[in-house]
A and B are shown apart, each in its own frame.
Chain A
Amino acid sequence: MSDHPLYEDLSTRRLTWLRFKRHKLALMSGGFLIFIYLIAIFCEFFAPYEPNWRNPKAIFAPPQEFHFFEANGNFQFRPFVYGYTLRINPETWVREYTEDTSQKHPIYFFSKGQKYQFWNLFTARHHFITTAKGQYLHIFGTDKLGRDIFSRIVYGARISLSLGLIGVVLTLVLGVLIGGLAGYLGGRTDNLIQRLIEVLQSIPTLPLWMALSAAVPVHWSPLGVYFSIIVILSFIQWTGLARVVRGRFLALREEDFVIAARLLGASQLRIITRHLLPSFMSHIITTATLAIPGMILAETALSFLGVGLRAPVVSWGVLLQQAQNFQVIVLTPWLLIPGIFVILVVIAFNLLGDGLRDAADPYGGHQL
């Protein structure tokens, strides 16, 4: 241990933060995730269009390129895109879009655009990025109804990311409670809970989810469906966390400082809240962080299969449902872009979780 004056006064939390800072990848992932979640929170502001707004002039249109130079070579500070000219190939019947240099659509930042409702609280018109009225901007192209993919991805972020977060919170509550009970009480309670966990875990997840999902009443509002999906996903997920929590409780129960607390006369509640919980909080947070990508992927998978969220709700899974056939890869590959975001977010969460886990491990270094 160091003589360094600062080291002695540092709490475990501060030490963990210092250790975490050393993982550059984890830090970057954390930053990236904060960035994406901010976009999700303010999605109405960041997306140029509403997710269900259609542009009849751009069905299955490819992404537009950003330009700073006009056709005649003039540099323009404000970026712009060209409109589409549509031609249907007489032989293959495939849509071919080319840039129409006569249609210049300048891009405006922080300007007024389409009206929207911010979280259903108030109306506003300002967008982060938009075009003038009558002009259009499709950064990631459009789908079969002419809906802007970029906007749909941004709105979809809100659903997919929040679902992952809330789902994990529910999983956490169930897992910690039940797992904690099993680990702390031991004996028959532990036995019972463990058998229950084993039964639940042996059921194939995807069929179970599909079955539960199909049981959700059709007439429920999108919000109702949203929450029932969360419950369905957490229905199995908590078992994994409960096992981990149980293991930690069992180990911690025999630690000297816990026995010391018992011998001091501490009540069971005090032991749990004051001594056991703080000791494995970091561990639980790490496990939870690593569980979020699982939830996001699960929702994506369910919606992709058509048994999760459905239109008009927009999530990344719902978006990917449009990309289910081979034609997509050949003709309109930009419909797969939501998948890239899923991958990025999942990787980011995994890197963040890894960094947290390494930082929270008190004796990660060599002790000689």
Chain B
Amino acid sequence: MTTRNLLEVTNLSVKFPLLKRGLLSKQVGEFTAVDQVSFEVQRGSVLGIVGESGSGKTTLVRAILRAIEPSSGSVLFQGNDGAVDLCQLTHKQLMPLRTQMQMIFQDPFASLNPRMKVADIIAEPLVIHHPEQHLQHRQQVIKMLERVGLEADSLHRFPHAFSGGQRQRIGIARALILNPSLVICDEAVSALDVSVQAQVLNLLADLQEEMNLTYIFVAHDLNVVHHFCERALVMYRGAVVESGPVDQIFTSPQHDYTKLLLSAIPSLDPDIKLAPLDRNSLDLG
């Protein structure tokens, strides 16, 4: 594995068994959510993963972090102590590595425990991995809060007191407090209003510079991916149909599905009419 890459995914597949319901469930087939996906992520870069619902993009990134178990393939991660295949580790062995890779979730309402105070939510990673340093926790939490643009008196409040954008910032603070190298944004701005989305994207860009982060950015909104990412993968029905630098994907798409996707994006200019391609005339494979 070249040290230029932070992550190398090779032939990753995730299959779910289809069960027949009876007194004892029996497997009658399987559903392939992620189909032999391979890609690399360079350190310090932003990789976008684009697809519609059912494309497998969320399953893919959750499998990388082992929130879902992959069925086959390898995920080479360049950790602080060298390269490891995440798929080969037990959950216990993964524990120390968790500090180096984190996820920011889509739903600002569901991703924070509604019964925990903001201070506790952000401090939780510290409590789990560095319990012995509990005296410094408060300071670190306050620093992180300021970094994401929230006020220090947010500490003793509960998530329901905050707007969607603010909750996402809390989620970002929680993900970044341990200084990970890889951050996966699973549709992190999709549920936000347009103006708030802009702020959060700017925040993520700033934090990447300050903290030397590498992002995998999952989204269904192509414009956001075009704006935020350097390279991108286009997924359709579990497989990667196209990959490359974003500009190239947008100006000269190769695969029919990418062409379909691009043709469906409405323009802000009322005089540019939406003319989506007819899916039946395409070879989507």
**A residues within 8 Å of B by Cβ?**
1, 7-12, 191, 255-257, 259-267, 270, 274-275, 278-279, 362
Binds A, one of B107-115, B203-211, B215-223: B107-115
A139 to B188, CA, bound (A): 70
A-B pairs with lowest CB-CB distance, top 4: A8-B161, A265-B98, A256-B111, A256-B110
Binds A, one of B121-129, B138-146, B273-281: B121-129
Asked if A270 contacts B157 (CB within 8 A), the reply is no
Asked if A264 contacts B125 (CB within 8 A), the reply is yes
Known A-B contacts A265-B98, A265-B99; the reply to A260 vs B111 at CB < 8 A is yes
Asked if A256 contacts B114 (CB within 8 A), the reply is no
- From residue 85 to 105 of chain B, which have CB atoms closer than 8 A to chain A? 94-95, 98-99, 102-103, 105
Asked if A279 contacts B110 (CB within 8 A), the reply is no
A275 to B12, CA, bound (A): 31
Query: Contact mask B148-186 → A, CB, 8 Å, 1/0?
Result: 000000001110110100000001001000000000000
Write the nearest CB–CB distance from A287 to chain B, whole angstroms. Answer: 18
Q: List 16 A-B contacts (CB under 8 A).
A: A1-B161, A1-B163, A9-B158, A9-B161, A191-B24, A256-B106, A259-B62, A260-B103, A260-B111, A264-B128, A265-B95, A265-B98, A265-B129, A274-B116, A279-B115, A362-B114
Write the nearest CB–CB distance from A44 to chain B, whole angstroms. Answer: 42
* Chain A residues, CB < 8 A from B103: 260, 263
A261 to B163, CA, bound (A): 22
* Chain A residues, CB < 8 A from B113: 257, 261, 274-275, 278-279
Asked if A263 contacts B102 (CB within 8 A), the reply is yes
Write the nearest CB–CB distance from A253 to chain B, whole angstroms. Answer: 12
Asked if A11 contacts B158 (CB within 8 A), the reply is yes
Which B residue sits closest to A278, measured CB to CB? B115
Asked if B115 contacts A260 (CB within 8 A), the reply is no
* Chain A residues, CB < 8 A from B116: 274
A279 to B67, CA, bound (A): 21
Write the nearest CB–CB distance from B258 to chain A, whole angstroms. Answer: 29
Asked if B128 contacts A266 (CB within 8 A), the reply is yes
- 14 further A-B contacts with Cβ under 8 Å, apart from A12-B114, A265-B95, are A9-B161, A256-B107, A256-B111, A257-B111, A257-B112, A257-B114, A263-B98, A264-B98, A264-B125, A264-B128, A265-B129, A266-B128, A278-B113, A279-B115
* Chain B residues, CB < 8 A from A256: 105-107, 110-111
* Chain B residues, CB < 8 A from A9: 156-158, 161
A270 to B125, CA, bound (A): 12
Which A residue sits closest to B112, measured CB to CB? A257
The CB with the most chain A CB atoms within 10 A, among B65, B110, B113, B171, is that of B113
Asked if A7 contacts B158 (CB within 8 A), the reply is no
Asked if A265 contacts B128 (CB within 8 A), the reply is yes
* Chain A residues, CB < 8 A from B156: 9
Asked if A263 contacts B115 (CB within 8 A), the reply is no
A154 to B67, CA, bound (A): 57
Write the nearest CB–CB distance from B154 to chain A, whole angstroms. Answer: 9
A256 to B191, CA, bound (A): 14
Write the nearest CB–CB distance from B19 to chain A, whole angstroms. Answer: 11
The CB with the most chain B CB atoms within 10 A, among A8, A255, A260, A266, is that of A260
Asked if B115 contacts A12 (CB within 8 A), the reply is yes
Among A1, A8, A266, point to the contact of B124 (Cβ < 8 A).
A266
Write the nearest CB–CB distance from A51 to chain B, whole angstroms. Answer: 46
* Chain A residues, CB < 8 A from B111: 256-257, 260
A362 to B159, CA, bound (A): 13
Which B residue sits closest to A258, measured CB to CB? B113
A275 to B25, CA, bound (A): 30
Which B residue sits closest to A262, measured CB to CB? B67
Query: Contact mask B47-69 → A, CB, 8 Å, 1/0?
Result: 00000000000000010010100
Which A residue sits closest to B158, measured CB to CB? A11
* Chain A residues, CB < 8 A from B128: 264-267, 270
The CB with the most chain A CB atoms within 10 A, among B106, B107, B161, is that of B161
Asked if A265 contacts B125 (CB within 8 A), the reply is yes
Write the nearest CB–CB distance from A196 to chain B, whole angstroms. Answer: 14
Write the nearest CB–CB distance from A92 to chain B, whole angstroms. Answer: 65
Asked if B115 contacts A10 (CB within 8 A), the reply is no
Known A-B contacts A12-B115, A264-B124, A362-B114; the reply to A259 vs B157 at CB < 8 A is no
* Chain B residues, CB < 8 A from A260: 103, 105, 111, 171, 174
Write the nearest CB–CB distance from A322 to chain B, whole angstroms. Answer: 49
Which B residue sits closest to A270, measured CB to CB? B128
A191 to B163, CA, bound (A): 41
Write the nearest CB–CB distance from A194 to chain B, whole angstroms. Answer: 11
Asked if A1 contacts B160 (CB within 8 A), the reply is yes
* Chain B residues, CB < 8 A from A362: 114
* Chain A residues, CB < 8 A from B112: 257
A3 to B99, CA, bound (A): 36
A315 to B112, CA, bound (A): 48
* Chain A residues, CB < 8 A from B67: 259, 262-263
Which B residue sits closest to A11, measured CB to CB? B158
* Chain B residues, CB < 8 A from A263: 65, 67, 98, 102-103
* Chain A residues, CB < 8 A from B174: 260, 264
Which A residue sits closest to B154, measured CB to CB? A8
* Chain B residues, CB < 8 A from A267: 128
* Chain A residues, CB < 8 A from B65: 263
* Chain B residues, CB < 8 A from A275: 113
A266 to B156, CA, bound (A): 22
